[in-house]
Structures are given as C-alpha cells and as structure tokens.
A and B are shown apart, each in its own frame.
Chain A
Amino acid sequence: MVASRGNNTNPARIPALGIRLIALTLISILLMYLDHRHNHLDNVRKAIGVAVYPFQLVVDAPVRFWAWLGESTTSRNELQLEVGRLKAERLLTNARLQRLTALEAENARLRALLDARGKVRDEVRVAEIMAVDANPYEHNLVIDIGSRDGVYDGQAIVDADGVVGQVIETGIMTSQAVLISDTDHALPVEVNRNGLRTIAVGTGEIDRLDLPFLPNNADIETGDLLVTSGLGGAFPAGYPVAIVDAVTRIPQEPFASVTARPAAALDQVREVMLIWSAAEDTATGDEH
C-alpha cells in the first residue's frame, strides 16, 4: 500500500509494512472499542497482567529491600521505645474499643426497635501498595492482592485514617485502584455533624476534594468531618473521608464553593485495607 508505492525514497523497503500497520490499527481500534464499551477483554488483560507481574515485583523490590534494611538495622533501644509507644497506643485503642462495643450493641438494639436494617460488620484485609506507577492520566495505585484473594471491581479501600479509593481493575495477583482525589472519581458523603448529604469530587490534587453541589445556605462549616454515606453502594457507610477546610459563599452564585482535605494520607500510605461489606458484596455502583 503506502510503502509499496513510494519506494523511491526508501530502496530497502520492508515488505507489506503499510498493510501490517493498517491491520494493527484496525485491531487496536477494535480492541479499544471492545474494552471501552463492553469490558469484554478482562481475561485478556488478566493474562497479560500475569506476565507483567514479575516486572512489577522487580521494580518494587528495591523499595521493599530498603524498608527491610531499615527495619533490621534499627537499634534495640529504638525498638524498645517503639514497643513502649505501641503498647500505650494499644491500651488507649482498647479502651476506646470497649466503649465502641457497648455502643454497637446499643445501636443494634435501637435499630431493632426501629425495625431498621441492621448494620453488618465489614470484613477487612490488609493489602500492601506496590511501588509501581500506573496510569499517568489518573491518580492510581497498584496493590498486591487480586482476584485470587477475592478482590472485586468497585471494592472500597481505606487506611487507618479514612477512605483511600476503590478498586477499578482486578488482576489475578495485583489490582489497580483509583484514589478519591482522581478527577473522575466522585464519592457520596454526608456531613457527620448533621447528616447533610452531598458528593465529594476529586480535583486531581492529592490533598483536595471539591464539594460542588452544596447550595449557599447549606449548613456546612470549616472543620466538618465528611463520612461515607453508603448511598452509592460501593462504599460502606460511616468511614471518614475528608475534613472541610474552606467554605466560600458568593451571594450571586447558586452553589457555595467548598473544599475538603482527605482524611487519609493519600500520598503516604503504604498499607491499606480492603473492605468486604457483607451486605453488598457484588454492588459496583461506582461513579468512576
């Protein structure tokens, strides 16, 4: 085709180059179409993902080694200090947990009185973030467990302080997740103080979320804690998401401009928890 006609500029031409290009272009377009519209290619993706896994491990290894080296060369003194600190922390958390158990029981009783659906305790599992960069156009991360451990698309991911993101792509050994700060991510939240429901949208900045749908007279203040409302179906209710850090009300604008800072340290986490909520284990009502 193209290559066979214009061979005056290129005497050592490669046979059937143009035909190959056109064929591969068509295949690419077909693949993209199938991938985008129907998600038919999950198995192909998984198969190639297994082949990429060793490279991810190799890339991740130096970081892991460094962490291991740091751990194994800590002095006895430091370790003792840390154990002491952890013991104190554990005592505090345990004390709080006792109260929580009582509260949970009370909550269940009250819900039973109200005939409301009982809250189910969520199953969690710790996953480690692999030091591997994924999609450059999105805020993504790769975690080291996949469909073989029961991870499913749309699963919620939290860390010790709050919601981190959700799984968007399950491989066999690894999965990709999108952070709540991604521009394409929106998360149904409610203000913990008064139950005001809204949606927190990612801004593309790692430390800022937007709440674009709050009217000027909405009861929201700086310092309010936003928790998941559980309405989207993807995230279980009640996990902290962000803290409101700026509320600007401009009278002539219909909506207030509200920004919030994610509660989880999105760019610092190394270990995250995946949540299996017993009530809605196949719900993938993700807005991604």
Chain B
Amino acid sequence: MSRDRASRRLPVIITLLVGLMLTIMPLAQSVQSFRPDWLALLVVFWAMQLPRTWSVGTAWFIGVVLDVSYGTLLGQHALALCVIAFITVRFHLLMRVFPLSQLTATVFALLALYQFLLFWINGVAGVSAEAVEYWGPVLTGSLVWPFLYMFLSGVRYRARAGA
C-alpha cells in the first residue's frame, strides 16, 4: 500500500521540482516574459489526474514557494494557484473527457485567470508591469500544454506500469 502511494507521489514531486527549476532558470531578457507558467500547468495536470492527493492545499504550498523564490508578495502566487487548482479539481471529470483541443482552450482560460489574479493583486499592491508580462506566459503556456500533457500522461502511465 505504502509502496503504491510512493509510486503515485514520486512522479508528481519530481515533475514539480523540475518545474520549479525551469521557473527560476535564467532566460534572455527578450524572451523572459514568454516563459510559460510551468508550475501552474503542472498543478492543473496533477489536480486533474489525481484530485484526491493533489488539490488546493498542495497548490497553495507550491505558490508560497514560488512567492519566496520570486520575492513577490507572500501569498500572491499561492492564492492564484489555489484558485485554478480549485476549478480544475471541481471539473476534473469533465476535463478528463475533453478532447485535447478543448482541454487546451480550458487551460488557456485557467492560465488567463491565473495571470488576472496576479495582475489584480499587483494592482492592489501597487506593482506595475507591462501587459506582455501577463499575456506572454498565457500564450506560451497554452502552446506547450498539448506537449506537456502528452509527456506527463506518458510519465504517469509508466509510473503506474512500473509499480
């Protein structure tokens, strides 16, 4: 039982750690605003696949880590991630039967909501940023989603088969 649980958690933890690295990896100034929100995408995927283990609590915790490594307001990314995790978990059965194109559209909406929440909190806190800082990650995030989805499904399948 515990081995089964470990084999279920390990891929999630590893992908999240890799996601964190990709998030803080340096990029050239010009493409920096187009970095996909890797952690948001991962949260959506895992909340959709394993909603009982990975839901709002985990998302919130990841958000706090993100806030610390970014130096943003503590709770900003936590709140935004927690909200999109909630929506994903709420509709996870629906999202699982969506065709990939429709799922990608849903992810686009989720990412837009995520960035909107960040934008909103930034506005209240008086942090100004250019529009591309918000739209860039939504666009690139939706573009990489299909590939990420296929990759993570493979990871998941293999982890299960190996257990």
**In the bound complex, CA of A80 to CA of B26 (Å):** 33
Q: Does B52 contact A (CB under 8 A)?
A: yes
Q: Produce 1/0 per residue, A123-162, CB < 8 A to B.
A: 0000000011111111010000000000000000000000
Q: Does A279 contact B (CB under 8 A)?
A: no
Beta-carbon contact of A21 and B86 below 8 Å = yes
Distance from B135 Cβ to chain A, minimum over Cβ atoms (Å): 12
**Cβ of B92: which chain A residues have Cβ within 8 Å of it?**
10
**In the bound complex, CA of A56 to CA of B70 (Å):** 11
Q: Does B89 contact A (CB under 8 A)?
A: yes
Q: Does A17 contact B (CB under 8 A)?
A: yes
Beta-carbon contact of A9 and B94 below 8 Å = yes
Interface stretch among B5-13, B76-84, B97-105, B146-154? B76-84
Query: Count the A residues whose beta carbon is within 8 Å of the partner chain — how many?
Result: 51
Q: Produce 1/0 per residue, B26-41, CB < 8 A to A.
A: 1101001101000000
**In the bound complex, CA of A41 to CA of B17 (Å):** 24
Beta-carbon contact of A137 and B69 below 8 Å = no
Distance from B3 Cβ to chain A, minimum over Cβ atoms (Å): 24
Q: Does B159 contact A (CB under 8 A)?
A: no
Contact of A10 among B33, B90, B121, B127 (CB under 8 A): B90
Which label, helix, strand, loop or mixed, suits the secondary structure of the B interface?
A: helix
Which label, helix, strand, loop or mixed, suits the secondary structure of the A interface?
A: helix
Contact of B71 among A17, A27, A176 (CB under 8 A): A176
**Cβ of B78: which chain A residues have Cβ within 8 Å of it?**
24, 28, 31
Contact of B64 among A21, A36, A48, A59 (CB under 8 A): A48
Beta-carbon contact of A56 and B127 below 8 Å = no
Distance from A111 Cβ to chain B, minimum over Cβ atoms (Å): 40
Q: Does B60 contact A (CB under 8 A)?
A: yes
Q: Does A248 contact B (CB under 8 A)?
A: no
> Which residue from chain B places its CB closest to the CB of A171 in the assembled complex?
B68
Beta-carbon contact of A134 and B70 below 8 Å = yes
Q: Does B125 contact A (CB under 8 A)?
A: yes
> Which residue from chain A places its CB closest to the CB of B122 in the assembled complex?
A137
- Interface positions of A from 1 to 29, Cβ below 8 Å from B: 2-3, 9-12, 14, 17-18, 20-21, 24-25, 27-29
Contact of B82 among A25, A35, A131 (CB under 8 A): A25
**In the bound complex, CA of A82 to CA of B68 (Å):** 41
Task: Show 21 residue pairs from A and B whose CB-CB distance is below 8 angstroms, ordered by the A residue.
Answer: A14-B52, A21-B83, A24-B78, A25-B82, A28-B63, A29-B75, A31-B74, A32-B74, A36-B125, A51-B65, A52-B20, A55-B20, A58-B21, A59-B26, A132-B26, A133-B24, A135-B71, A135-B72, A137-B72, A138-B129, A169-B71
3 tightest A-B CB contacts, nearest first: A31-B75, A28-B79, A28-B75
A44-B74, A48-B65, A137-B122 provided; 10 other pairs, C-beta below 8 A? A10-B91, A10-B93, A10-B94, A28-B75, A35-B75, A36-B125, A41-B74, A48-B68, A133-B35, A137-B127
